[in-house]
Structure 1
Amino acid sequence: MRNFLKQLATLFGVGRFPKGPGTVGTLVTIPLVILLAQAGPLVYMAAIVLLLPVGIAACEFYEQDKGGHDHKEIVIDEVLGFLITMVWLPMTWQAILIGFCVFRLLDITKPFFIGYLDKKIQGGLGVMADDVAAGIIASLIMQVLYTQTNWLGSQILVP
């Protein structure tokens, strides 16, 4: 189980991509977002709730074996953060593109308290916390865009 969780931390090797592994990890999450959206909101939310403790354990084991904190190879945190970003949104190319950009911007720049979480919380929880926070803030931004503008386009998939 420990080896499986360590593989999950890197999303089965995606995190070893030489350039921008966090961005690549977020990019390969797009099909999962679409699949979960088609499964319905309860399944989507259940996946997020399940992935949080599993992701924390995966990151914890990875850090224990590698030493140090928040290795660039760990991308399960980006997976969860992007899933949170896209919750309860239409599955349009515009929503996916804008959500991707907003989440990556917040994850990379770490504004507000996101940077504090990144620096102050250690272990697997610390690895996941900043991306969860970035995902929540990105989701709030996306919900405002969804309800107040037409920037997210027309629904292309019917869940």
Structure 2
Amino acid sequence: MVQLLATWFYLGKSPWAPGTLGTLGAVPLVWLLAQLHPLAYMGWALALCVISVFVATAHELKLGVHDSGEIVIDEVVGFVVAMTWLPFSWVFCLSAFLLFRFLDIWKPFPIGWLDRKIQGGIGVVTDDVAAGIITNMVLQLVYFKTGFL
């Protein structure tokens, strides 16, 4: 069960861009969560954050490698956070996907700092949650201040 979740149904096992595939694999989950009341969405997002820390920790211990590329549950959680309180549409999904992946790969401050300083499963997840929060803040700002998107 740990490997199934850590690799998000084995998408993380892909030899090509496992983080990108893991993020794409989060879209159906975000669609399901978007059907819920916003507070229920937040509850699930928080629960997924906690679960992902335990799953990432267990998978790291099994592999003996910190933040293995096949662990993509962190990308799933980061994308869930990125889409929090945003309308579920192809425009928002695509915008959130592109910005989240850019931030997750580039790792500007504070994302890169968190990635380097925090070890274990919580470290695996924290930088992606930070990328998700920043993505969400940017899209909220664009959406509510300009009406664009």
* Normalised-by-shorter TM-score class: over 0.9
- Residue from 28, 34, 37 that aligns with 1:37: 34
The answer (yes or no) to whether the contact 1:56–1:127 under 8 Å persists in 2 is yes
Q: How many residues align?
A: 149
Gaps of 5+ in 1: 153-159
- Residue from 95, 118, 121 that aligns with 1:121: 118
Matched with 1:151 is 148
Matched with 1:106 is 103
Deviations for 1:26-54, whole angstroms, at most 9, x for unmatched residues? 01111111111112212211111101111
State whether structure 2 residue 15 is matched by structure 1 residue 18: yes
In the TM superposition, what is the alpha-carbon distance from 1:18 to its structure 2 partner?
1.2
Give the aligned CA root-mean-square deviation in angstroms.
1.0
**Correspondence 1:33-72 to 2 at 5 A:** 33-72=30-69
Deviations for 1:89-134, whole angstroms, at most 9, x for unmatched residues? 1112111111111100100000011111111111100000100110
* Percent of residue pairs identical: 50
- Report the TM-score when normalising by structure 2: 0.96
Give runs of ≥4 in structure 1 deviating > 6 Å.
none
**Distance across 1 between alignment mates of 2:31 and 2:10:** 21
Matched with 1:95 is 92
Gaps of 5+ in 2: none
The answer (yes or no) to whether the contact 2:8–2:25 under 8 Å persists in 1 is no
**Distance across 1 between alignment mates of 2:112 and 2:72:** 17
